[in-house]
Structure formats: C-alpha cells, structure tokens
Structure 1
Amino acid sequence: MAIPYGRQWLDEEDERAVLDTLRSDYLTQGPKIAEFERALCDYTGARYCVVAASGTAALHLAVAALELPPGSEGITSANTFTASANSMAYCGVKPVFADIDPVSYNIDPASIAMRITPATRLLTPVHFAGQPAEMEAISTLARERGLKVIEDAAHAIGSRYRDGGLVGNCRYADATVFSFHPVKTLTTGEGGAVMTNDEALYRRMVLLRTHGITKEPALLTQNPGPWYYEMHALGWHYRMTDMQAALGVSQLKKLDRFAARRREIVARYNALLADLPWLRTPVEADGVASCFHLYVPRIDFAALGKTRVQVMRELLDLGVGTQVHYIPVHTQPWYRETYGYGPGDCPVAEAYYEQCLSLPLYAALTDEEVATVVAAVRSLA
C-alpha cells in the first residue's frame, strides 16, 4: 500500500475512549458533547464552542447564525475547499473570491480590499495548510468597514498567530471553524467545531444545530409539561455523536505532540528537497507557528519535463501517494454557471494550482517513510 498524503493517528487510549462511550447510556446528545466543547475552549482560550457533524456543517452554522441581510456578499480565498464558499451560498450570501499571496498561498489582504463593495458583509479568510492568514490586517480591514469575520481554520487547530495566541481564540474574528476529518491534525472521524466569544452568536448556533428546536424554559412561549419543545428557527440536524466527541477529547490531549511531529517532518522535507531546481519548498511566514496540515511544494513541471499526472503516477509506483490542494473554487462549474466566474479572475491562485502537489504529511509518518518520500521525489529528475 502506498504512503497516503494524510491519515489519522489513533492509539489504544482513543479506542478505549470510544468503547467506554459505546458502553455508556449515551451514544448521542450526552455528556461527551459538553466535555469536548469545554476542552476546546480551554485549549484555544475562546469562551464558547459548538461542535457539529462536520467542518462544513460548522461553517454553515456560523454563517447562518450571523443572519446577514438579503443581497449580502462574502469574500473568501480562491485557494480552498469548496465548503468555505458553499457555506455562504447556502445562506443566500454571494461568495466573492480574493486572490492569494504568492508565497504563503493564503488569502491576500490587498486582494480582499479590492473586492469589497457596499454589499460586502463577511470575510472568511482560510488558514491554508495550517499557516495562519494575515489576521491582523484582515481584522483591521473588517473593523474599518463594519464587516463580520469567520476564520476557516479547518487546517489550523494548534497553529499560533504572530502574537503567540492560538488559532481559535477568536481575537480577530466573530467565529473560528475547525474540521476533524481523518486527514486533519485532530480527528473525530467526521466532525467540526465553531469557536466564538459572542454569547448571542453561540446561542443561535446551538439552536440551529438541532433543527432550530429548544426545550429551554426561558425561551418557550408556553410550557405545558416536561415533554414540550418548540421550533424557533429553521435549523438542521448537525449534531456530533458522543462517540465522536469522546474520540475528540482523547485526541486533543495529544494535539501538541501531533503538531510538533508535523513541524519536524516539514523541516526534514525542506532540508532534503531545497536543492532541487524545479521544486519550491513551502515558506512559513515570520512570527507564526503553523501546525502544518499539508506539505505543498510547488513543482515546475515544465522544467522537470513531465506532467503532473506523470509525476503522480511515478510517485505512486514508488509507493508515495499525493494529492492536489486546491482547484481554485471560482473555476468550478457551479460557480461559473451561477455567478459568471471563471479562469483569469484570480491569476495568482490559478498559477499556484498549476504547480502544486501535496506530499505525505501526518503525525504517524515514520522517519523511514519520510526517507522513502524524499528518495522518490528526488528520483523524478
């Protein structure tokens, strides 16, 4: 089996945590949900947390809870997974795509500023590959224009801003979203979370997560008995299960160790691949500490004399899996047909896409496997 580009790291503690929950009275809507939410708040420093069924669900909850007016626009990165923009479209907000910085591959604050219109209400910067975006500049821009900010930190739990604070503390944003898919640094199988310091936003997300239904006595218009509940909004079934939350609590205890191992692997890759004239290693911005979710060198396939497809096949034959992150969202058929976007709208992101290739990176990757990846890449020329 080839070395995958990403995968989970589970141990006996994780297995015991899940099994203990399976043997308990609660498989869902039980105490593990609150325990995981408290643990995430304790770790990040945020006041509130709402865990959800996926990172996409968490993004949707965050945008929906803002209750932006009809005709609103939101700006996000062209270099991201579709969920960053889809979460806006779900809520009737028009996604607008800003271009990226050519070095960090994160959203460019100057490009954001150029795309702000009177209809803009929301900025959703993405911490690509785990590296924090320029949140000081983005937060300042948002405050000056009266805009809401949701950080898409699906890649970045465990990363730190220049000020040393952990991503997720919501110092720079109204909300921050995490993803716990198996290829992420911390996993719950599937799952996500929204962090916030805004109590009103938190309560709206809690309501929307469970069909818009509440049983809180203070919110009911009447209360004939203990069975009674009311639907106060059109919400969704976006709950996380207690089994997932139990796994998250266990995984969170190892997050710093996972982050350190990922950084160690990235440093090793950079040292052993930096001399290749057709490959550009990733650059970490000064002052930040990235809990790298992805390792994405840029490869000049023309200079190498091979297509990306050829390179991926050759590496796979040598036991190394790869992936591409990301196809610019504005070039996807739905976005082209719905909003009229297309090639040329974000030239830096499009140029990056033509050369990007993600190599294996996960905490369980062994030194021997790292050596296998390096040898395979170096054998391409």
Structure 2
Amino acid sequence: MSFVKIRENYLPYGKQSIDESDINAVVEVLRGNYLTTGPYIEEFEHTVADYVGTKYAVSFSNGTAALHGACYAAGINEGDEVITTAMTFAASANCVLYQGAVPVFADIDDQTYNIDPLDIEKKITPKTKAIIPVHFTGQPVNLQSIHQIAKEHNLIVIEDAAHAIGATYQGNRVGALSDMTMFSFHPVKHVTTGEGGIITTNNKRYYQKLIQFRSHGITRDRKLLSKDEGPWYYEMQFLGYNYRMTDIQAALGISQMKKLNEFIEKRRQYVTLYNQAFESLPEVILPFQHIDGNSSWHLYVIRLKTDRLSGTRKDIFEALQKQNIGVNVHYLPVYLHPFYKGLGYSKGLCPQAESLYEEMISLPLFPAMTEKDVQDVIRAVKQSINHYRQS
C-alpha cells in the first residue's frame, strides 16, 4: 500500500485542529463499554441541536449519508425533481439520485456564488419536490427568497450546510431555519469527527424517519411497532441503511464543538488579513461580504480576472503549489463530471457557475494556521500575480 507523501513545509488548503482534550475524549471512549452506538451519540446530537437552536439532531456516518437520509425523510422518490446548485460537491446532487429522483441544476448568483433564487423559479416544474440550497464556502444563501419560493410551490427545503456551521442569517444561526439542514464533520470542516454528518430539524416526523433510516429501517420504539412480543422485540419496517456514527466519533465531536466559536473567530481574523492584502490587486476579485448574515468561512476563494493576466488560472495555481501553498479549486460544476454527462447533462447549463469555475482558486484557511502561514500565502499570491501581470 502506498501513501501520498506530503512535501516538507507544505501548507494544505484545510486541516483539522486536534489538541490533547480531543485525544483524551477519544481515549476515554476506548476505555469504556461502548465503541459504536452509545451515550456519546445522544450527547453529541444534543450539543449540535442546542448550538443551532433546533429540537432534534440525528447523526450519521458522514455528510453524504446525512443528505441521503434527509431526502428519504422528505419523501423524495422516483419521478421527483430536486433543484440544487451546480457549484457544490457532488454529494448535494448524488443524494437525489440515491432516491431515484432527478437533480435539476440552477445557476449561481455571480456576486455571492450561491444558488440564484431567480433561476430556481425558472427550473420549477410540476415534478419538483424539494430545493437543496448550499451555503457555498460558508456564505449564507438567500433563504428569505428560497423559503418564499418553497411556500408558493409547496416544496421542502433541505439546506446543505456542510460549509456553514456557525454561520448566521438575519441574526439566526444556520441549522434551524429550514425543514432540514445538514452539517459535515470531515477533517477540513470547522469541527471534525473524523468522518461524520448530522441533520438538524424541528419536525418530529422527519426526526423519527431519520433515526430509523440510519439503522436499516429498524425500530424498537413501542409506539411504532406493528406488534410487541416482548422487551427484546424490534422490527425492520422499511429498507434503511447502516449509516450510524460511532461513539468514538461523537466523543471527538463533543470536544471539538467546545472550540467551534474560537475556530470561526480565527478563520475570520485570517480572512480580514487576506482581504486587506488583496484588495489592492486589480487582478483579483475578493469573496463576497454578506449583508444579511455572517459567513463561517469554510473556504476563502479568490476569483482571477484572467483578462488582466498574461497567464491562465492553471499557471497561477501551479506557481502557488511550487511555493508549497496547497491551493485547491472548489468546484467543478457537478453536471460536468463524466458520470453526470452520461446522464444527459451538458455544458452550458449554468453559465455563471462555469465561468466561476474557470477563474477560482481556494487559498489555505484553517484555525491551525499561524499568522506567518497567512503571510506566506499572501506573499506567494502577490508574487504569482506580479509574475503574470500584463505589462
């Protein structure tokens, strides 16, 4: 088995922040009686629900599984259509396919890079069942407009907030504003459980479906059983999946959640330094500064004005990598992946998303960075831009 060797002094675009309290929390579980589904699961779910302000939270093995569970709970099935953004990770659309439904891609707002409510309205048909807006990079989407559209057309809203735990919209934390909201706990996210995801909701019916869905469709709830043969008795009532989180993951998540606000504040500090450094570069468009909410800054994405440069986005990207700056690109519009092309999607569907993809670069941003790391990134970006600046 071979592993990717990380270059010395290489700064990744994202990385977990783990300290001794996190390690001790996991060790405590390893020394206890439960490794899989135990008391830490419920505590973690309560911790997240309390943080965002919902009645319920249901943990999953990863964010994609959580989105799948939300689609099931929403009753999305074969023949339905679900509108989502093209500018996202594939999971935001894959979860629709898992239920036999059809993802419909709406274009982005050219300023915020989030899904454009005006294009959502254009894509609604009698088959539309739900909307999955994505808080891209941690910037809150225009939920006021999306909720109005959903109300008018009787649609369910499932927020993909994989990037956005801790973000706020109109004074409220993302996570308690729609029918369901998904958060991800992958290591590059704000807090991590190794792998993991969660759905928050205020809807008891969705909550009960999610609980069963993540565990093979099985229930021991006496109120839900078709019959009761005794204390040992349980029933599989529909075809669910094994999507459970472990107590090991949950313990890490509980420990990480205690530091979430600190992590977000550090991200915001570094964003301020980036903005101050790059605002004088005419070749760079800075990320959108939200009016109706506060971003949690999962990603810091700059957009290159390639018409002002003698080189391409690829040239700038490679120049930064040569300086050990671990830049990335988020994302290739979902429907341009070969699999989706095979389903009949084609280029030109979302012109704004495609244009953004050709010009964007994600810079390193995570709490474990130092101010020296931030200055190294700034210096490398300026050097790369200067090298390809048109005379």
In the superposition, the TM-score normalised over structure 2's length comes to: 0.95
> Does the CA contact (< 8 Å) of 1:78 and 1:346 recur in 2?
yes
Aligned position for 2:241: 236
Matched, 1:4 2:50: no
Show structure 2 runs of 5+ residues with no match. 1-7, 387-391
**Larger mean Cα displacement after TM superposition, 293-302 or 181-190:** 293-302
> Does the CA contact (< 8 Å) of 2:78 and 2:99 recur in 1?
no
Give the Cα–Cα distance (whole angstroms) in 1 for the partners of residues 168 and 33 of structure 2: 38
Aligned alpha-carbon RMSD (Å): 1.0
Give the Cα–Cα distance (whole angstroms) in 2 for the partners of residues 288 and 378 of structure 1: 30
> Does the CA contact (< 8 Å) of 1:312 and 1:321 recur in 2?
no
Aligned position for 2:197: 192
TM-superposed CA distance for 1:80, in Å, is 0.2
Show structure 1 runs of 5+ residues with no match. none
Aligned position for 2:66: 58
Aligned position for 1:359: 363
TM-superposed CA distance for 1:218, in Å, is 2.2
In the superposition, the TM-score normalised over structure 1's length comes to: 0.97
Give the Cα–Cα distance (whole angstroms) in 1 for the partners of residues 179 and 169 of structure 2: 16
Give the Cα–Cα distance (whole angstroms) in 1 for the partners of residues 204 and 186 of structure 2: 27
Give the Cα–Cα distance (whole angstroms) in 2 for the partners of residues 216 and 199 of structure 1: 14
**Aligned residue pairs, count:** 377
TM-superposed CA distance for 1:88, in Å, is 0.5
Give the Cα–Cα distance (whole angstroms) in 2 for the partners of residues 68 and 183 of structure 1: 30
Aligned position for 2:112: 104
Aligned position for 1:47: 55
Structure 2 residue corresponding to 1:214, chosen from 214, 219, 239: 219
TM-superposed CA distance for 1:219, in Å, is 2.0
Question: For residues 228-307 of structure 1, what are the structure 2 equivalents within 5 Å?
Answer: 228-307=233-312
Structure 2 residue corresponding to 1:378, chosen from 372, 378, 382: 382
Of all paired residues, the percent bearing the same amino acid is: 49
Give the Cα–Cα distance (whole angstroms) in 1 for the partners of residues 247 and 119 of structure 2: 41
Give the Cα–Cα distance (whole angstroms) in 2 for the partners of residues 283 and 220 of structure 1: 51
Give the Cα–Cα distance (whole angstroms) in 2 for the partners of residues 361 and 43 of structure 1: 23
Aligned position for 2:3: none
Give the Cα–Cα distance (whole angstroms) in 2 for the partners of residues 306 and 193 of structure 1: 42
Aligned position for 1:153: 161
Give the Cα–Cα distance (whole angstroms) in 1 for the partners of residues 314 and 348 of structure 2: 23
Match for 2:127: what amino acid? A
> Does the CA contact (< 8 Å) of 2:76 and 2:96 recur in 1?
no
TM-superposed CA distance for 1:315, in Å, is 1.1
Match for 1:372: what amino acid? D
**Larger mean Cα displacement after TM superposition, 363-372 or 222-231:** 222-231
TM-superposed CA distance for 1:181, in Å, is 0.3
TM-superposed CA distance for 1:259, in Å, is 0.7
> Does the CA contact (< 8 Å) of 2:167 and 2:296 recur in 1?
yes
Give the Cα–Cα distance (whole angstroms) in 1 for the partners of residues 242 and 158 of structure 2: 21
Give the Cα–Cα distance (whole angstroms) in 2 for the partners of residues 79 and 126 of structure 1: 8
TM-superposed CA distance for 1:285, in Å, is 1.8
> Does the CA contact (< 8 Å) of 1:50 and 1:202 recur in 2?
yes
TM-superposed CA distance for 1:367, in Å, is 0.3
